Amino acid sequence: MTVLLWLVPLALLLGLIGLGAFVWSVKSGQYEDMEGAARRALDDSDLDPKA
């Protein structure tokens, strides 16, 4: 069962990285314009028309 000694901390670490990423995304304002972000993704006017 010694495998738990490093597997559990590893799982927690991965979770914490995810949490950290979310905190960063909230703090940098990525949830301030959810509708706009969804629409910007559909805007293809920056594409080369020949491609």
- Applying CB under 8 A, which residues contact other proteins? 1, 4, 8, 11-12, 15-16, 18-19, 22-23, 26-29, 31-36, 39-40, 42-43, 45
Task: Name the residue type at position 11.
Answer: A
The DSSP line for 1-51 is -THHHHHHHHHHHHHHHHHHHHHHHHHTTTTS-HHHHHHHHH--TTS-TT-
Closest distance between other proteins and the C-beta of residue 10, in Å? 12
Closest distance between other proteins and the C-beta of residue 17, in Å? 10
Closest distance between other proteins and the C-beta of residue 36, in Å? 3
